[in-house]
Structure 1
Amino acid sequence: MLNRRRSMLLSLLSRPASPYGAGAALVRHLQEPPTASAMDPNDDAMWASLPMSFGKQTKKANVSAQFEATKRASSGVQGSDAKKEELKAPSAPKPPSPRRKPADDSDSDPLLSDSDSEDGDNTSLFPISHELVLKDHTKPVSALSLDPSGARLISGSYDYNLKFWDFAGMDPSTLRPFRSMEPNEAKPVHHVEWSITGDSALVIPASSQAQLVDRDGDKICEFVRGDMYIRDLRGTSGHVAELTSGTWHPTDKKQFVTASADGTVRVWDVNNTRKQVMVGVHKSKTPGAGRVKISAVLWSPDARFVGAAAVDGTVSLWDGKARSWSRPANVIDAAHLKNTETSGIVFSRDGNFMATRGGDETVKVWDTRNLKKPLSTRSGLSTNNAETNIIFSPDNRYLLTGTSVPFNSPTPGTLEILHAGDLKSAASIPISNSSVIRVLWHSKINQIITGSANGDVRVLYSPEESVRGAKLCVGKAPRVRHIDEDPSMAADIDPSAASIILPNARPEDRNETFSNKTKANMARKNPILSRRPQIPAAPGPLGGTPDQRHVDENIVGSDMRNEDPREALLKFAEIAEKDPMFFGVYKKNQPRNILAGETGEEEEEERKKKRRVLKRVRGLGSMHIVTFYILPPLIHPHVEGTHSPSPPCQLQQFLSLCWPPIDYMKTKRKRPYQKTSTRSTQVTNT
């Protein structure tokens, strides 16, 4: 061994000088495989253990194995057109075919062509062979949106949260969102949608105020809420009831439309959060219906129509290019069953056709140029959620929607792919053991995303047909985990732990960390494991007691209860004396203030006292007249023309208090015994 190493060094020294130095020559020599004559048979193990290069080695991912791990157990494709050749993957990947300009609308429109007479393009594979499951929500997923580039996904749920997923930032071992936020406290999310530029997203929570968030999940703005006490809904600046749906303008990145349970459809400008641009009020023809809830709204791709569905079964088409709305352009009175929520509306790419997903378990296709009756109807598609949507495929040949199943049903929820022309089933794909609520097919990456009632977000893709998206994270090598992140190589030494874990111990010597009672308590706190229903909101204000320091520093007037009002006014006495604002005119003609002798309260008290005395005098008026006739000499001493002696002191005081001077002074001067009134006669006779 030593002789071999000595010969290697001598051979290196005997070589001519290299411009890269002896170190580079040594590296090249080590990289060169030894010849059979120079190799010792006993050194094979040593050469196998020596590295062939320096530095950190890049761990390569086994892409084919990772793709195979995400392959679906069975495609579950059923239907009249699901032939075996549809399941064969093409040899070379190809993007979705662009739309060809038709020579004649009646011949080239995919909606007007029958499913049995389609050409060979119908055998193209749906991207459903593989799936990636994203689990982070704890309640039904009610909103899904993928940005125009197909890089970031937003999911909303009944657990009040929005989850932001970045396909390029995830790998098979870290399928977690990079941001989670609660747009409105204790309010489910009904809808979320990226803008046409992808720089912001529209959030429709279960409140009366829409929100905008940026790509990182930070709130940009929140739009105003209307005055609920105004009866005319056109006079309010915003919605007065819970929002149900919303969507962006197809070409204008500054406008979007929202629908609400108050029966209005409102168009907003992102630069004005205090008032809508225009408002349309739905007026139901049902007697005594009042405000009718709008359950779905959508702008057509050509911006000609704004479709709105109400719970009274009507579907209204508003003029999408008008500057104000007084009434809808077209109305379908009985589009779906009354008192059911039409959860989805979708327009074809040219805006000539419209499909609706009704709460009566039907899907209908309409011609926007003739809305008297639907072109085709498909029934038996169960739905239990108000957010179940319907979409067109990128080539407008198919319609996609989800179906609902009862809780713990053995039948799985399916993704239904229907022919857009006659609504025949092209494929029925089982997704999970719960209802399929949201469906999304992104044309740029050619992947289908579904949201289920159990909180799962599933990305269906094909390794050959799809581009980026889920393939980015599935094709990555697993991240090298630190030893502390590996639970099999670390032990819990928390004092509250039941025991110490020995990872490499025998099974009979390994103790449980938690008792069965502790595990049951932890499972009870998990809403999925415990199957706990949604807890209703508790009465009263939410949250705890506010921080007193925060209140004192940020709320104006929070310390006024400890302030003396007299001292607060005297602070401005000197300033008011030097520069009087309201009484400057008195500075010359009345430099010294002349105050009133009595205050307003004292004057009012004096007037009340006089009124009380007058009431008492009027109540004793008849007694005065009797005294006048029985004791004529005892006339009030101040009455002119009487010369009777003064009455005794006590009687004089009584007469001074009880004498009605007003009635006496109004009468003429007559003899003392003359009757002065009819009332006096009656009293005297008695």
Structure 2
Amino acid sequence: MDEAEDAAVSATMGFSGFGKKARTFDLEAMFEQTRRTAVERSKKTFEAREQEEDSSKEEQVTKKSPALKVVASSSAPRCTESGSSDSEDSSDDEEIGPPAPSNVSDDDMIGPPLPPGFKDSDDEDEEVDEDDDSPIKRIPDSHEISLQHGTKTVSALGLDPSGARLVTGGYDYDVRFWDFAGMDASLQAFRSLQPCECHQIKTLQYSNTGDVILVVAGNSQAKVLDRDGFPVMECVKGDQYIVDMANTKGHTAMLNGGCWHPKIKEEFMTCSNDGTVRIWDVNSEKKHKNIFKPRSSQGKRVIPTCCTYSRDGRLIAAGCHDGTIQIWDRNMNVHTKYHCRQAHVPGTDTSCVTFSYGGQILATRGGDDTLKTWDIRNFKKPLHTASGLSNFFPMTDCCFSPDDKLLITGTSVKKGGGNGSLMFFDMVEFQKIYEINVTDASVVRCLWHPKLNQIMVGTGNGLARVYYDPAQSQRGAKLCVVKTNRKERQAGTLTQDYVITPHALPMFREPRQRSTRKQLEKDRLDPLKSHKPEPPVAGPGRGGRVGTHGGTLSSFIVKNIALDKTDDSNPREAILRHAKDAEQNPYWVAPAYARTQPNAVFAEVDSDEDEPDNEPEWKKRKI
């Protein structure tokens, strides 16, 4: 039937076939052949490797004692035969795949290649490794750049998680944005703004995603800006006439600090002089999310001067004005989980509280010129204490190195009293192992970015210093120092651009302006350009315009008034001008009273004689 159908189709279509038939493959046979080939190659490779190992062993034994040479040579074939017999007995021990390099031993570590300069932990290399792992050599301070924020104290620093942008704030109310990838060697900020008007900037921090910035200033309302400085959210202000701060929707006094939650990108925290620590959500700006109220040993209200989250976000720590450090569980806001009453001297502002990257060590920078570390598992007494570190600012901070082996902080100096320094303390013995003289002003802010491995410092004279090492640091300041300054574009001197077309017709050619005076004279003769007033209408008037004269009564009166040459500036003279004519030819008043008007009789009395004494007594004037 198939042949008949093919014949019918070929007769109909006009050709005998539809091409070559598809080839068929036996996949199982192909896999079996591949496996056998791999097994044979593995056998050969394994035998060759064993022979090389045996030959190397023989050479070593021969060097040590010639008597052992015979024993080693006799044992070599036995190992090879046993290995070959074992491989023939069971196929499970056979190696399948490409052969391993000959220089790799069984004890070598499997994984990605080790970085250059890596050394094994042998006894011979321990001394070298100890010198290379010294904490001082890990400090990236071989190079530095200075960013001119202004002339006043740089009181806030913030770096986004990727390390691409730096934001600085100061006592001059300005917030400046620096982009390392977009800056050149001139080191100029690409944006400057005043988000809180006339309030000093106290804290600037990027969120854990780097898309928004928390701005805490001297007012009672914290703000959230996006990466470019545009407002996203502003906290509501509370009612300052309510006694219980838990019943208000926001802070009622000046803010002291704030920070973002390390895990939840929409949550941040602020502390204020109203005695509260409040948690906020970016999506709900009308009311705080939670509130914590620090209390003294007598149960009175205490002002928190700084606050922070733990690395996992479960704990909230606050340093208070009475010298205490209070730590709450984030989900329990009534009672503290850890409490230290005598952490610092009462009445001083604890300027910084920060957790280590491990999460168990807490470092505090006190207003009593001390730096202390604490173990939160034993929070009654500090682990280490360093004194004599002057602190004049309420936001002087401290931070850990990315490997938790160093703790750094800045010192304050008076004007003309020396240089402010950046101190490095070892976390094991807590001794000062290194010091950087920054500038002739106080060191207020310090920040060690773990990804860039660069140290940012804010000073009291308006500078933001960035320390880095070309070998150890990544990106950041290394991107902008290699760029040359951009040339400034000169403004055009021509006020009007001319398009010169040499082959255009004269009627379309625009004449060039050679003299301004001649052009003004031409414009003066042009009635449109000189705004010449329209002439008066001759005749009775048309188009809603009044004629010159004679058309209407009003125009006639206006004409007569305009043509009257008499001067009526003095009305008395104008009236007396007609007095003589009216007396000689009376016409209006005098003829009407001519017949009935009596003659006036006046007594004539000489001025030299005394007046007659014929008046009654009661009319006489009393002297």
TM-score range, shorter chain: 0.5 to 0.7
What's 1:183 paired with? 195
Please report how far the alpha carbon of residue 192 of structure 1 lies from its aligned counterpart in structure 2 after TM superposition.
0.7
Task: Select 1:429's aligned residue among 420, 423, 436.
Answer: 436
The 5-angstrom pairing of residues 410-429 of structure 1 reads: 411-429=418-436
1:159 maps onto 2:172 in alignment = yes
Q: Which residue of 1 aligns with 2:145?
A: 132
Aligned partner of 1:629 in structure 2 is: none
- Partner SS, residue 124 of structure 1: helix
Q: Describe how 1:212-611 pairs up with structure 2 within 5 A.
A: 212-285=224-297, 290-320=300-330, 322=331, 324-409=332-417, 411-482=418-489
Which protein shows a greater Rg? 2
> How far apart in 1 are the matches of 2:489 and 2:133?
52
> Alignment partner of 1:295: what SS?
strand
Q: 1:326 to 1:441 in 2, by over 3 A?
A: same
1:543 is matched with which residue?
A: none
Provide the rounded CA distance (Å) in 2 between the counterparts of 1:198 and 1:277. 22
Q: Do the aligned partners of 2:271 and 2:307 also contact (CA within 8 Å) in 1?
A: yes
- How far apart in 2 are the matches of 1:370 and 1:446? 31
Q: Structure 1 residues 123 and 433 mapped into 2: Cα distance closer, same or farther (>3 Å)?
A: closer
How far the C-alpha of 1:286 sits from its partner, in A, is 5.2
Amino acid aligned to 1:380: G
Structure 1: distance between partners of 2:131 and 2:254 = 44
- Residue identity in the other structure for 1:170: M
Displacement of 1:253 in angstroms is 0.3
- Give the deviation of 1:136 after TM superposition: 2.8
1:328 shift after superposition: 1.3
Aligned residue identity for 2:326? S
**AA at the equivalent of 1:393:** S
Structure 2 vs 1, CA of residues 228 and 133 (structure 1 numbering), >3 Å: closer, same or farther?
A: same
Aligned partners of 1:478, 1:201: CA distance in 2, in Å?
A: 29
Q: Confirm or deny: 8 A CA contact 1:394 1:441 kept in the other structure.
A: yes
**Is the 1:237–1:274 contact (alpha carbons within 8 Å) kept by the matching residues of 2?**
yes
Mapped pair 1:211 → 2:219? no
Conserved? CA contact 2:161–2:209, under 8 Å:
yes
Partner of 1:667: none
Per-residue deviation, 1:138: 2.2
Residues 170-213 of structure 1 deviation map (CA, whole Å, 9 limit, x = unaligned)? 1113x211111111121001101000000000110111111000
User: TM-score, normalising length from structure 2?
Assistant: 0.57
Q: Is the contact made by 2:358 and 2:404 (CA closer than 8 Å) also made in structure 1?
A: no
- d(CA) in 2 for partners of 1:467 and 1:310? 37
Match of 2:155 among 142, 164, 170: 142
Which amino acid is the alignment partner of residue 415 of structure 2?
F
Identical counterparts, % of pairs: 45
TM-superposed CA distance for 1:338, in Å, is: 0.5
Indicate conservation of the 8 Å contact 2:156/2:203, yes or no: yes
> Whole-Å Cα distance in 1 between the matches of residues 430 and 171 of structure 2?
31
Unaligned runs of 5+ in 2: 1-114, 119-129, 494-623
8 A Cα contact 2:357 2:402, kept in partner: no
Q: CA deviation at 1:359?
A: 0.4
Secondary structure in 2 aligned to 1:449?
strand
Give the CA deviation at 1:121.
4.5
Cα gap change, 1:139/1:119 in structure 2, threshold over 3 Å: closer, same or farther?
Answer: same
Shift in Å, 1:119: 7.8
Q: In structure 2, what is the equivalent of residue 202 of structure 1?
A: 214
Deviation of residue 350 (structure 1)? 2.6
Q: Distance in 1 between matches of 2:223 and 2:403?
A: 32
Whose relative contact order is higher, 1 or 2, with alpha carbons under 8 Å and at least 6 apart?
1
Q: Once superposed, what is the RMSD of the aligned Cα atoms? A: 2.0
Change (3 A) 1:480 1:402: same
Instruction: Provide the C-alpha distance between the structure 2 equivalents of 1:418 and 1:150, rounded to a whole number of angstroms.
Output: 25
Inter-partner Cα distance in structure 2 for 1:396 and 1:164: 29
The CA deviation at 1:303 is: 1.6
Contact 2:136 2:434 survives alignment (8 Å)? no
What is the CA–CA distance in structure 2 between the aligned matches of 1:303 and 1:252, rounded to whole Å?
A: 8
Q: Which amino acid aligns with 1:370?
A: N
Q: CA deviation at 1:470?
A: 0.8
Q: 1:123: how far off? A: 5.1
- Checking the alignment, whether the CA contact within 8 Å between 2:296 and 2:302 is kept in structure 1 is yes
| Contact kept? 2:452, 2:473, Cα under 8 Å | yes
Query: SS in structure 2 opposite 1:170?
Result: coil
Q: Which whole-Å CA distance do the structure 1 matches of 2:158 and 2:351 have between them?
A: 17
* Count of aligned pairs: 367
- 1:608-661 CA deviation, whole Å, 9 max, x = no partner? xxxxxxxxxxxxxxxxxxxxxxxxxxxxxxxxxxxxxxxxxxxxxxxxxxxxxx
Shift of 1:426: 1.7
d(CA) in 2 for partners of 1:376 and 1:118?
Answer: 25
* Cα offsets for 1:327-347 (capped at 9, x unmatched): 211110010000000001111
Equivalent AA in structure 2 for residue 395 of structure 1: D
Name the SS of the counterpart of 1:437 in structure 2.
strand
CA distance, structure 2, for counterparts of residue 204 and residue 177 of structure 1:
21
Distance 2:136 2:161 in 1: 27
**Aligned match for 1:171, one of 178, 184, 196:** 184
Residues 512-549 of structure 1 deviation map (CA, whole Å, 9 limit, x = unaligned): xxxxxxxxxxxxxxxxxxxxxxxxxxxxxxxxxxxxxx
Cα distance in 1 for residues equivalent to 2:136 and 2:242: 57
SS in 1 for 2:138: coil
AA matched with 2:351:
S
How far does residue 291 in structure 1 lie from its aligned partner after superposition?
Answer: 3.6
**1:335-369 deviations in whole A, cap 9, x for unaligned?**
00000000011111232110100000011110001
State the AA in 1 paired with 2:367.
G
Cα distance 1:478–1:176, how it changes in 2: closer, same or farther (>3 A)? closer
Q: Which amino acid aligns with 1:228?
A: Q
Unaligned residue ranges in structure 1 (runs of 5+): 1-93, 98-116, 491-686
Q: Distance in 1 between matches of 2:272 and 2:328?
A: 16
Instruction: Tell me by how many angstroms 1:484 deviates.
Output: 6.6
Asked if structure 1 preserves the Cα contact closer than 8 Å seen for 2:421 and 2:438, the reply is: yes
Deviation of residue 467 (structure 1)?
1.2
* TM-score, with length taken from structure 1: 0.52
Distance in 1 separating the partners of 2:239 and 2:269: 19
1:285 Cα offset (Å)? 2.2
